[in-house]
Amino acid sequence: MKSHNPLLYATAAAALLFAGAALAQSTPPAPADGQSSDQATYQTPQGEVVIKSVPAPTPTAGPAPTFKQLSDGGEAITSAQAAAYPPLANDFLYVDGDHNGSINKTEYNRWVKQLQQTSGQ
């Protein structure tokens, strides 16, 4: 008696290929009237799905604190102290011009001046 395994395997493979093609996503529809181009609407078996794609809002930070506030009255700002003001923590390695692991008052004031010039304050 001959085995039907090759026929079974071929049928299963064809069914999987057909199912994959049926489930493949098509190109999103063009925006409808009144709908912005930063969102797309899809019909799914569970209902309508609206996908909105916009950039995240720019984080805002208040004005830079004084050197004395960040250094807790000390002579330098450590990386742990800089974490209290996220823009400074982000720029810590850049601001630490002499690469000694802390920011002195001159380095901090230079950075604050650059920050104000770039933000238009």
88: Cβ–Cβ under 8 A, 6 or more apart, which residues?
64, 70, 77, 82, 95, 103, 108, 111
- Whether pTM > 0.85 for this model: the answer is no
Nearest to 109 by CA among 68, 81, 78, 73: 68
How confident is the model over 45-65, as pLDDT tens digits?
999 988 888 776 666 778 899
Residue with the bigger pLDDT between 96 and 28: it is 96
Average pLDDT, the chain: 81
Cβ proximity of 61 and 86 under 8 Å? yes
Task: Check residue 29 and give left, alpha or beta (phi > 0: left; psi -120 to 50: alpha).
Answer: beta
Which pLDDT belongs to residue 39?
A: 82
Phi, psi of 39 (to 5 degrees): -145, 155
Cβ proximity of 71 and 77 under 8 Å? yes
